[in-house]
Chain A
């Protein structure tokens, strides 16, 4: 029997007295990738935050990594979270903050180490293997805050993988990066999706960021699911025009869908 990594039934999420998500029903199996697409403020990031227990689920049935989210106590969350690779939207890090790229990747093992225990040789070898796999050897001793945006995201992705996660939650992982870095990181995510059984949830408002292997797509609008289905069913000019509130043109290139604004008089 298949066990979903998460399953939401009729879930609503609220924060500071405001409902962020309404009637969300969704699930993800091991090895699947799910893309969540929608305009700014549609509730995409809130969905990831609710999965991580950072936003309150006020109604519905919500399971995450085989635990009932709504009955989890705050001291039980760390046990769930250490199995989740969560990449928040790009953070501003003080460029002088004393941490090297390698130490950032090692942070991925800290949740596994346990109370008052130091990191083991195994923790170090897992970290090492991802440094090698992502080609980060030259950057390992560099201060993290002084890396470029693209390099930082690559290090962050290695940190996520060092956690040996069962599921990756990626919030706009390539936003603000130049074309070359978008491609590099896109390929890394695609490689993870193909080679590993880790489930991937990727949130983005740019559909070309979705990895080609991502078959399940959900369109969010104003906190509700507007349409869910396979990539071909969901990514259509008609539906995308409706959620973005402007006419769009869709074109396909290298397995990825690209969205362009379209004006009749152009």
Chain B
């Protein structure tokens, strides 16, 4: 049993790292109320993969580059046109979808490999990919750890953050780019649709439990890693799809957090 597990060490590591990276960045996405950014990034990656197919370059680097480009654009697009960030996400998301489908209709052979970015397969993750995920997670943790107070100010209120003498646009756009990095490195293993649950559920669950952003971030990491490990072991023991098991566990965790939330305690009956 243990030796069998050793065969899956890369999968387990990838699951844990995804749990850490996604749930940390998820806290910020949750507080900014832009969970949709996950969907934008995964479809931008799909468009990138389609593009790679045409220019004959390797898929992953191009997918990564296009995802990053999309998050580079989303902030300035919203700010320049003075529209809500979610609308800006919607505009870019539909553009990326359109480009992907246009490209795919021009490719005669089967598109399973391309669509793999949307479904993902954590069992096929390689050592090299795990290393890339580890480096990306480390970069994100460092950046967030070192600039936590600036990010907190931005989540609180962007205008006030700017008025405090924080270089608000720099930090705000970096937050979006960090999000792009986390989502795109984890796409291959988790898939663009599954990753959504690790972005949103641990953060949403942790948010129920505390009024301290630091504590929420730490709790979200615990919940994220918990869900990905539990999902991995269940899929290992009962041969269930890993991604789907992770989604189920993170949703269960969220439900438990809501149930035990001190923020939702009922008003005591009077008299």
Please measure, in the bound complex, the distance between the C-alpha atom of A116 and the C-alpha atom of B159, giving whole angstroms: 21
Point out the residues of chain B lying under 8 angstroms from A113, CB to CB.
149
Nearest Cβ on chain B to A223's Cβ, whole angstroms: 21
Find out whether the CB atom of B213 lies under 8 angstroms from the CB atom of A110. Answer: no
Interface residues of A in 210-224 (CB under 8 A from B): none
Say which one of A17-25, A27-35, A92-100, A248-256 lies at the interface with B.
Answer: A92-100
B216 beta carbon closer than 8 Å to chain A: yes
Query: What are the interface flags for A68-110 relative to B under an 8 Å C-beta threshold, 1 for contact and 0 otherwise?
Result: 0000001101111111101010010100111110011011101
- Shortest B125–chain A CB gap in Å is 32
The answer to whether B165 and A112 have CB atoms under 8 Å apart is: yes
Pick the 10 closest A-B CB pairs, nearest first. Answer: A82-B165, A111-B165, A86-B163, A81-B165, A111-B164, A143-B211, A78-B165, A116-B146, A98-B213, A110-B149
- Contact of A110 with B157 at beta-carbon distance under 8 Å, contacts A99-B213, A103-B152 already known: no
Q: Mark A36-53, 1 if CB is under 8 A from B, else 0.
A: 000000000000000010
Q: Which of A81, A99, A116 contacts B163 (CB 8 A)?
A: A81
Chain A's nearest CB lies how many Å from the CB of B19? Answer: 21
Contacts of B164 in A (CB 8 A): 81-82, 107-108, 110-111, 163
Interface residues in A, total, Cβ within 8 A: 36
A97 to B147, CA, bound (A): 19
Residues of B within 8 A of A91 (CB): 157, 160
User: What are 29 inter-chain pairs, A to B, with CB distance below 8 A?
Assistant: A16-B82, A54-B162, A74-B169, A79-B165, A81-B164, A82-B165, A84-B163, A84-B165, A86-B160, A88-B159, A88-B160, A93-B157, A96-B263, A98-B207, A98-B210, A98-B212, A99-B152, A107-B149, A107-B160, A110-B149, A110-B150, A110-B153, A111-B164, A111-B165, A113-B149, A116-B146, A118-B146, A119-B149, A163-B164
Chain B residues within an 8 Å CB radius of A119: 149
Q: How far is the CB of A7 from chain B (nearest CB, A)?
A: 21
Q: Please, which residues of chain B bring their CB within 8 A of the CB of A16? A: 82
Q: Chain B residues near A106: list those with CB within 8 A.
A: 149
Closest to A116 in B: B146
State in angstroms the CA–CA spacing of A81 and B160 once bound together.
10
Best-buried of B162, B211, B213 by chain A (most CB within 10 Å): B211
Cα–Cα, bound, A91→B155 (Å): 14
CA distance A98 to B96 in the complex (A): 34
As a 0/1 sequence over residues 100 to 138 of chain A, the CB contacts with chain B under 8 angstroms (1 = contact) are: 100110111011110010110000000000000000000
Instruction: List 18 additional contacts besides A88-B160, A111-B164, A143-B211; criterion CB under 8 Å.
Output: A74-B169, A75-B170, A80-B165, A81-B164, A81-B165, A82-B164, A86-B160, A93-B157, A100-B211, A104-B156, A107-B164, A108-B164, A110-B150, A110-B164, A110-B165, A110-B166, A111-B166, A118-B146
| Complex: A52 Cα to B166 Cα, angstroms | 13
Chain A residues closer than 8 Å to B213, beta-carbon distance: 98-99, 103
Chain B residue numbers with a CB within 8 Å of A112 are 165
Bound: A84/B166 CA distance, A = 12
B80-123, CB < 8 A from A: 82
Name which residue of chain B comes closest to A107, CB basis. B153
Contact of B222 with A by CB under 8 A: no
Question: Among A98, A99, A107, which residue has the most Cβ atoms of chain B within 10 A?
Answer: A98
Q: Which residues of A contact B160 (CB under 8 A)?
A: 86, 88, 91, 107
Most interface-central of B31, B156, B263 (chain A CB within 10 A):
B156
Which residue of chain B has its CB nearest to the CB of A74? B169
Contact of B167 among A52, A78, A96, A143 (CB under 8 A): A78
The answer to whether B156 touches A83 (Cβ under 8 A) is: no
Residues of B within 8 A of A118 (CB): 146, 149
Complex CA distance for A201 and B147, rounded to whole angstroms:
32
The docked-state distance in angstroms from the alpha carbon of A54 to that of B160 is 11
- Residues B153-192 near A (CB distance < 8 A): 153, 155-157, 159-167, 169-170
